[in-house]
Amino acid sequence: MAVSSSYQAIYEAVARVPRGRVATYGDIAAVAGLPGRARQVGYALHRSPPGLPWHRILRADGRIALPADSTAALTQRRRLEDEGVTFLGGRVDLDRYRWLQES
């Protein structure tokens, strides 16, 4: 469908991630129709859009994109664990939780 702005696509792509699953910035960018613009995805989330479950978005290595000691990072981790996602050494098993946009 048409996009009034690229951010709209990013927001919807993030919103599509099912509960208990995670996605990388690159994946979201690809799903949103912005291949190679993973940075812009991160930037869009940094802007903290309203009602966006940004906590399901992780970096390509399965780590949180924010400093581990930051409040936002701790909140994100707590929310994911609450959804059933387990953190191993500050990291998530992408082979198991990465959302592949299969449905």
Partner DNA sequence: CGGTTGACTTTCG
Partner DNA sequence: GCGAAAGCCAACC
Per-residue mark of binding to DNA, 28-67 (x: CB under 7 A): --------xxxxxxxx-xxxx-----x----xxx---xx-
To DNA, the closest distance from the beta carbon of 82 in angstroms equals 16
Interacting span for DNA (CB under 7 A) from 9-17, 68-76, 79-87, 95-103? 68-76
**Positive or negative: CA dihedral 42, 44, 74, 13:** negative
In one-letter notation, the amino acid at residue 23 is A
Cβ neighbors of 6 (< 8 A, separation 6 or more) are 32, 33, 34, 37, 40
To DNA, the closest distance from the beta carbon of 99 in angstroms equals 13
Tokens 């387990």 belong to residue: 86
To DNA, the closest distance from the beta carbon of 90 in angstroms equals 12
The verdict on 74 binding DNA (CB under 7 A) reads: no
The SS3 of residue 68 is coil
